[in-house]
């Protein structure tokens, strides 16, 4: 029985999988680093200032 993919297709699929995995790991590390930075800023500011005041979500801000 023949293999479902030939050699070149298999190499492309492996390369695409490795690239996707690297991108996902990079996104997770970046998100964790950003989260830590925001928590540090909030803790240094004090308990009076909420995180949503320091870092407002742009999609919820009204224009004008």
Write out pLDDT tens, residues 18-62.
999 999 999 999 999 998 988 888 777 766 666 667 777 766 556
Helix (H) / strand (E) containing 22: helix 7-45
Q: Is the pLDDT of residue 2 over 60?
A: no
pTM as predicted: 0.61
Q: Angle at Cα 19 formed by Cα 3 and Cα 4, nearest 5°? A: 10
37 vs 45: CA distance, rounded Å: 12
**Up-side HSE of residue 28: CA atoms within 13 Å toward CB?**
6
């Amino acid at each position: 029985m023949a293999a479902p993919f030939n050699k070149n297709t298999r190499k492309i699929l492996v390369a695409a999988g490795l690239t996707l995995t690297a991108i996902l790991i990079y996104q997770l590390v970046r998100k964790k680093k950003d989260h830590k930075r925001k928590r540090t800023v909030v803790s240094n500011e004090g308990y009076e200032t909420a995180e949503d005041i320091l870092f407002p979500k742009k999609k919820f801000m009204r224009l004008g």
